[in-house]
Each structure stands twice: as structure tokens, then as C-alpha cells.
Amino acid sequence: MSSRKTLSGTITQPLQLLLSLTCLLASQPALSRAHDGHAHPAASHSNTNATKTARGVVFEDLNGNRVRDTGEAGLPDIRVSNGADIVSTDADGKYELSISDDAIVFVIKPSGWSPPLNSQKLPQFYYIHKPKGSPADFQFAGVAPTGPLPESIDFPLTRQLEPQKFKALMFGDPQPRDIREVEYIAHDVIEQVIAEHAHDASFGVTLGDIAFNNLDTLEPLNQAIALIGIPWYNVIGNHDVNQEATDDRLSDETFERLYGPNYYSFDYGSTHFLVLDDVAWVGRDKKDKEKSHYYGGLGKRQLEFINNDLAAIPEEQLVVLMMHIPLTAVQDRQDLYRLIEQRPATVSISAHAHYMEHRIIDKEDGWQGPVPHHHIINVTVCGSWWRGQPDERGIPHATMSDGGPNGYSIMEFDGKNYSFEFRAAGRPASYQMNIYAPETLTTQSLASTEILANVFAAAPNTVCEMRVDDLPWASMERLTIVDPGFMAEKAREESLSDHTWTNLPKPHETPHIYRAMLPADIALGSHQIEVRARDAQGHDTMGTRIFRVEE
């Protein structure tokens, strides 16, 4: 693997904001505290499941102080939820909702409005009601006791300009184990995003596995991502749970303290976003000693929220579902399919797999809609969990198991349309593929030489062509095989007796490799191979490789 050039600084210069875990900033929600349980946001682990009525006002915060002052009007028709039910504010901005003693009340952000952001650029659109707080014996802190239910839970919103056409950054699995790996993320990806601010994203999303079991890394990572300077939403992943939890409803305590509800929705421009929690936690059963584990699942309460949420969304509006575990691995996905499959414009995106892939979900997986559903498995920030030989900055190259580099993506939304751009960490925007060809060939071997191209973000409908010099373009055949460059690098690194890095993972057979044969009538000397990949929207990405022909 070729080493990647640094964009700024070196890994030996630690970030000042990340000097110590002891100086972490507290993440404060808009209304001072917040909580909700996975798939059962209003289910209680206290001694009572008695319901109460939460009341409040959603108002226009004209001076941005998060307090309703004289002259700041209540906002009508703003949706507020308890994680299942959704109500709309009346003409005076007032709402009422039934909640238990373990619940989150949250606003569904409407288009053209913004909730407050805390110092880590995390949207503060929720209020946690948890009088007794999270279990005190968890390794990582949850929610402190919130005390009695306030008489009025008020939510401030401010106006903001939101164009119909906009971009969003998508991070999959940053997954740092410790502060050193937070610094990998800062230098390998965040500095690049800041330097290339021309993408002009309106907000960003981390698609789960924000941490790697060590939840003490969440706040320093939040601080580093906040330097990008845009609002940042978060999806819960399987490595973000409290592993001491004996059941699913207690598994999200630390996540909730920092980020609020584990599932929610919001509008931006003309697009509707659904943030889902599809990590179902099974705690250790003391009776049969079953080991703790997770599986892909949504649960009845979350599906109730999704149903209620979509009922108020215009049929023609683009709906973007964001989750951690790929949709095809979610056990109750058929229930979700029934809720979205008749809508004309939907797309979903996940992470978790540590490879890049576009999946088209159709009737073979039980989809009954008139058109198949597009699901994107996003590139991961940590690639192969920060494995592989370090580059000149001391950062492992972290090549993913499909042969693609670690990185992030940029999605653009425009009405009912969307597009996807893959971005490799530490590389220019034009780096979209690896081309595999011999360095030197003889005239006798030309006709029997195949050229392979791993087009990192190619979808099933991507068309790939190849040409040599100015010869005509020739079609390339799509294959599902392991990446030969990944296999070669894995073997090379494992053959080194004195290496200190973690070996690359097993290869994944990727469906985005293309093959073509070289023409037989190429003259002696140096030549250029060009590969052109064209997606369904007509966007081209190009790659080149030089080789030499000898006698």
C-alpha cells in the first residue's frame, strides 16, 4: 500500500483539546437534561411505570438565549414525541404528552428551524425525564437523576435558511479504542474535512460505533468533530452500548446522556431524515449464563414511532433512513418495509460492515414496493479498525476488507433526488479506484493480460469502461471477488517478523471490481490505462495507471 501524505501536522503533535480525559466538557441538552431507552423509550426500570403528563411550549427563540422571554411567540404545528406518540403544538405552541419515569420528550425539527447546539455542535432538541437517573454501577456514566417532572418543558427553536439542495457528511464507525485513535481520526479525516471546506455540508452524521466499547472516548471525539463547525447528529452502534445492561432498555444510558434519544427524526430543506436504533441488546441471563450479545432489530415501540412519524410526511417527500447495522441484517425489517415501500422516494444508509457496498433491496428480500430500495453500506472512518502498517504519520493505513481505503462520504440532496460521493482519507477527491495491471509486459503476453479495477463506491448499475491511450473505450465486466491488492498487502505485512501493527482482517468478496482484457496490438514503450466509471446519474469518475511493453 502506498503511504498517504499528511494534510497538516503529524501524529506526534497531539491535539490540545484532547490532552486528557479528565478535562472532558459536559454535554448539556437544551433543557438541562435528557434520556430515552432503546426501542422502549418510555419503558421504566424504576419501581413505577405510572404515566405522567408532560406539558410545554415550543417557541421562537429570538435572542438565542434558550429561555422564553416576553414577546417570543409559541410556534404552532411543531411535532413533539415521547418516542412512540407524536403530537402537534396548538396555535399557542403548546403540547401535552403522556410519559413514564424513564422517557425522553423531543422536538421533531421542522424545515427552516434549528434547535440550539451545545459546545460540541450537538443538537439539543430533547428533555430527559429520569427522576432516579441511570444505574450507578455501570462502568460509564449515564444520566444523573433529573428530579421531578417540570411544570413546563419548553423547546427553543431559531429560524435558519435551508436550501432545497444541500450536502451532508456521513461518517461510519470512527470506533476509537483510546485517545490515540481519537487522534488518528482527527489527523486522518477531520483535518481533511476542515481543509476541504468547499463541500459546504449543512450537517454531519456518525452512523454508529462512535466508540469501540470504551465510552470515555465519546466526548474527546465529539470535541474533535465539533471543529468541523456544523451540527452533528449521531446514530447508536453496537459498540456504543453499556455492556453491563441486563436488557435492551438500559443499554443506551451513556449514549442518551451525550446525544439524547436513540431514535428520532428531523427535516432539513425538503428532505426528511429518520435516525434509527437497530441494535437490540441481549444482556447476560444469570439463570442460563447466556453470554451478552446484540442483533439487528428495531422493536415494536420504535416501529410505532416510525409509523406515526411517516403518517405526517407528504407521500412525495424524500425520506432518508440512517442506521448502524445494514438493513438486510435487521430481523424485523419486513415491518419497516411495509411502512416505506410504497413511498416513491426513499434511501437508507448504514455502516457496521467495514466495507463499502450498495445493496438493491427487492422482492428477493421481501420488499413489495413498485421499485427496489437503495441501501448504502457506508465507508468507515476507522477502515479495518485501524489495522495495517502505519504510514509516515504513524497512522495505520486501515484498508478495508474490500480493498478500499478508509474515509467518509458526502451525500447531496435536492428535492426527491440524491447523490453519493466517496471520499478516501488522506487522498484527493479524484481517488475513486485502484487499477491493477502488470508493471511490464511483453508483446506476446498482451492479449492474455487482464486489467482489474476496484471502483470503491460503484453501485450495481455503475457502468465501467477501459481504454489504452487513445484506443476506443471497451466495456468492463463486473465481478465479485476479493481485491488482489488487499491480499498482496496482507500477505506482505504478515511475512514481516518484526511488525508491531495488527494484521489486516480476512478479505471480503466485493461486488465492485471490474475486468477487461488488454488489446493485443499495443506498441513497445510506456502506455496509459484509463478506467471510466459512470453512475446512474451520469457522473463519471476516472482512474489511470501506466505500464510498459517490452520485447
| Strands in 172-298 per DSSP E | 203-207, 232-235, 264-268, 271-275, 279-282, 293-296
CA 477/CA 465 separation, integer angstroms:
9
Give the tens place of pLDDT for each residue, 9-46: 333 333 433 333 333 333 335 443 333 334 444 333 44
Element (H, E) at 171: strand 165-171
pLDDT confidence of residue 497: 86
Torsion of CA 110, 115, 117, 118, to 10 degrees: -140
pLDDT confidence of residue 286: 53
pLDDT confidence of residue 198: 58
Question: Averaged in consecutive runs of 10 residues, what is the pLDDT profile of the chain (551 residues)?
Answer: 36 37 38 37 45 96 96 97 98 97 97 98 98 93 96 98 97 98 98 86 98 98 97 98 92 98 98 98 69 94 98 97 98 98 98 98 98 98 97 97 98 96 96 97 92 97 97 97 98 92 96 96 96 92 97 87
CA 187/CA 177 separation, integer angstroms:
16
Residue 22 Cα to chain centre, angstroms? 28
- Domains located in the chain, CATH noted: 25-106+114-159 (2.60.40), 161-299+321-424 (3.60.21.10), 433-550 (2.60.40.10)
Gyration radius of the chain's alpha carbons: 25
pLDDT confidence of residue 21: 34
- Is 111 exposed, middle or buried (CB count within 10 Å of its CB: 0-12, 13-18, 19+)? middle
pLDDT confidence of residue 295: 96
Predicted model pTM? 0.91
pLDDT confidence of residue 515: 98
Q: Which residues contact 1 (CB under 8 A, 6 or more apart)?
A: 388, 389, 397, 399, 485, 489
pLDDT confidence of residue 504: 97
How many C-beta atoms lie closer than 10 Å to residue 115's C-beta? 23
First-to-last alpha carbon distance for the chain, in angstroms, is: 29
pLDDT confidence of residue 22: 34
Residue whose C-alpha cell is 432489530: 297
pLDDT confidence of residue 290: 65
How far CA 378 is from CA of 138, 482, 525, in Å, comes to 31, 18, 40
